[in-house]
């Protein structure tokens, strides 16, 4: 008899845990959010006895609201792995982004009674959850992605065709230096030296999402050479990052205003990488300043 498939979704508050749980539920998982650690083994017994049944598997949302969760988690994972096919997903985001999300949502942080400011609460939670993040099978960073992109990443990982596969989440981001440099990034490419469609009257009000802008940006030999070098770089390096165990990689491409050249390069790079996909790499696209 095959062991039941169990997913534990955890991570920093505000990073997207609820979105991940809802996505798994929509894909046939039996989900329990905010499962108390004291009820974990009783719940597992119900699953093993068949009293709780789900074809896709079972997903538990667990976070810092349970004070013993982080401390006990490495041992819990070891014991669970002996009884189920376990996959632990840790979802995080940069602290500044989490502050902005809590401000927008007007929610109270789970550690609001233990630290004076929201910034301190986020830092404390991150420290407390380090053992959990270290033990996770996958880490998803939602700093630069929207909920639909997080749902896509979850769906790709937990497809119904087979066991979960470790994935590298590649986020390609266009931006304009005139508004602010991009942060944080693992890769950065500056395309401001290329001819700028902004100075062409017919193209000024368009963006790199339009074909005629893309054709203009990529028509010069220097643009073609640069694009080929960037494409070759990531075709070579992405499998290496995946093999090394990296879970996410953020690559920024910047131009002056973030509307023409950087958008063109991100769109074409995403298309080229998608048309000849690299196994285990999931691609997301973010255009930070295209509407500015």
Annotated domain spans of the chain? 5-165, 170-287
Q: State residue 160's pLDDT score.
A: 54
Q: Is the pLDDT assigned to residue 163 strictly greater than 60?
A: no
Instruction: Read off the pLDDT of residues 176-189 as tens digits, 9 standing for 90 and up.
Output: 999 999 988 999 99
> Distances in Å between the alpha carbon of 206 and those of 73, 178, 220?
51, 18, 19
pLDDT tier, 65 (very low <50, low <70, confident <90, very high otherwise): confident
pLDDT at 66 over 80: no
Report percent pLDDT > 90 for the chain. Answer: 69
Tens-place pLDDT, residues 204-235: 999 999 999 999 999 999 999 999 999 999 99
User: How far is residue 54's CA from residue 34's CA, in Å, rounded to a whole number?
Assistant: 19
Q: Where are the beta strands (DSSP E) in 167-273?
A: 168-176, 187-190, 248-255
> How does residue 119 score in pLDDT terms, banded at 50, 70 and 90?
very high
The whole-number average pLDDT for the span 160-184 is 81
pLDDT at 166: 58
Using the structure block, give the residue that is written with the tokens 């982080």: 70
| CA atoms of 172 and 150, how far apart (whole Å) | 14
Nearest CA-CA partner of 270 in 246, 292, 287: 287
Average pLDDT over the chain reads: 91
Structural tokens at position 151 = 């749902």
The predicted pLDDT at position 122 comes to: 94
Q: 112 Cβ partners below 8 Å, 6+ apart?
A: 118, 121
Q: 5-165, superfamily in CATH?
A: P-loop containing nucleotide triphosphate hydrolases (3.40.50.300)
Residue 246 pLDDT = 75
The partner residues of 88 in beta bridges, in order of sequence, read 8
């Amino acid at each position: 008899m095959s062991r039941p498939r169990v997913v534990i979704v955890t991570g920093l508050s505000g990073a997207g845990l609820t979105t991940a749980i809802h996505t798994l539920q929509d894909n046939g998982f039996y989900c329990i959010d905010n499962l108390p650690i004291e009820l974990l083994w009783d719940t597992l017994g119900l699953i093993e006895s068949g009293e709780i049944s789900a074809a896709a598997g079972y997903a538990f949302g667990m976070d810092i609201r349970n004070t013993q969760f982080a401390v006990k988690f490495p041992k819990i994972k070891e014991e669970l792995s002996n009884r189920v096919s376990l996959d632990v997903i840790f979802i995080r985001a940069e602290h500044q982004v989490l502050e902005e999300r809590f401000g927008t949502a007007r929610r109270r942080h789970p550690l609001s009674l233990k630290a004076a400011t929201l910034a301190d609460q986020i830092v404390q939670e991150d420290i407390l959850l380090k053992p959990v993040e270290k033990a996770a099978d996958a880490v998803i960073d939602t700093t630069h992605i929207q909920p639909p992109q997080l749902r896509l990443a979850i769906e790709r990982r937990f497809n119904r065709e087979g066991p979960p596969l470790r994935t590298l989440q590649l986020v390609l981001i266009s931006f304009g230096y005139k508004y602010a440099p991009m942060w944080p990034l693992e890769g950065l490419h500056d395309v401001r030296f290329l001819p700028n469609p902004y100075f062409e009257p017919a193209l000024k009000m368009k963006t790199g999402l339009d074909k005629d802008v893309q054709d203009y940006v990529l028509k010069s030999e220097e643009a073609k050479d640069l694009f080929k070098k960037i494409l070759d770089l990531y075709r070579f390096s992405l499998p290496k990052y995946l093999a090394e165990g990296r879970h996410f990689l953020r690559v920024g491409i910047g131009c002056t205003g973030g509307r023409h050249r950087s958008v063109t390069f991100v769109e074409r790079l995403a298309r080229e990488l998608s048309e000849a996909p690299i196994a285990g790499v999931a691609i997301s696209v973010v255009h930070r300043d295209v509407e500015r």
